Amino acid sequence: NAVLTDDFGRKHNYLRISLIEKCNLRCTYCMPADGIVLSPKASLMTADEIHAIAQTFVNNGVDKIRLTGGEPLLRKDFPEIIAKLASLKTEISITTNGILINKHIDVLKQFNVKKINLSLDTLVASKFHSITLRNQFQSVIDNLHLLLNNDFKIKVNVVLIKGFNEDEIIDFIKLTQFLPISIRFIEFMPFAGNEWDKSKMVSQKEILDQVQ
């Protein structure tokens, strides 16, 4: 469909929808420690509006929809949103920090949401607290296993930060020897208030040098 073909002739079939700005973690690379000013609730799309805009995209060739946030599972009407989107007969996936998975796993299974991108930047509980400012490490690990035990397809997103977790690159890769997951190393990106510094970035070459 011409509507979703860009100036380079590429057809776009993949839609990402951010459901909410709120998050139940305070990852230092993502959000200032004192939080952000949230949009008023009236500014957020309702479940019906999300369905309507997704329907328009699907009508124009989109066959994959990813729900993100913030933390998308914080939406109180998340089950309603999933139910509406499931009626579009398109692939639905989510990106989540995993904390609330156990509360929503039945809904995910019911509406065949099988692909989950799980954000996890460290395999060390104390480091998890230092980067997220929350004590939820065990919840995330438990929910990762819960997803795997229920045959979800998992990609783990790891934001690499020099001096924080580049010494865990091999540990993350070794996980794939024992668990049916994919590991993806994500670039540390500059945002207002996240103390970004080029010296904290881990390059592709550094990753590959370690892997070799």
> pLDDT tens, 103-138?
999 999 999 999 999 999 999 999 999 999 999 999
Q: How far apart are CA 148 and CA 152, in angstroms?
A: 6
pLDDT at position 2, please?
84
Higher local confidence (pLDDT), 13 or 89: 13
pLDDT (average), residues 196-207: 83
Confidence of residue 71 (pLDDT cuts 50, 70, 90): very high
Q: How far apart are CA 72 and CA 3, in angstroms?
A: 28
pLDDT tens for 42-56 read 889 999 999 999 999
pLDDT (average), residues 90-98: 98
pLDDT above 90 as % of the chain: 78
- Assess whether pLDDT exceeds 90 at residue 4: yes
pLDDT at position 151, please?
97
pLDDT at position 1, please?
63
pLDDT at position 40, please?
83
Q: How far apart are CA 147 and CA 98, in angstroms?
A: 9
Per-residue three-class SS string for the chain: CHHHECCCCCECCEEEEECCCCCCCCCCCCCCCCCCCCCCHHHCCCHHHHHHHHHHHHHCCCCEEEEECCCHHHCCCHHHHHHHHHCCCCEEEEEECCCCHHHHHHHHHHCCCCEEEEECCCCCHHHHHHHHCCCCHHHHHHHHHHHHHCCCEEEEEEECCCCCCHHHHHHHHHHHHHCCEEEEEECCCCCCCCCCCHHHCCCHHHHHHHHC
pLDDT above 70 as % of the chain: 95
Mean pLDDT estimate for the chain: 92
Q: pTM for the full model?
A: 0.91
Confidence of residue 196 (pLDDT cuts 50, 70, 90): low
pLDDT at position 172, please?
97
> Alpha carbon of 2 to those of 7, 58, 125, 140: distances in Å?
10, 13, 49, 42
pLDDT at position 195, please?
66
pLDDT at position 194, please?
59
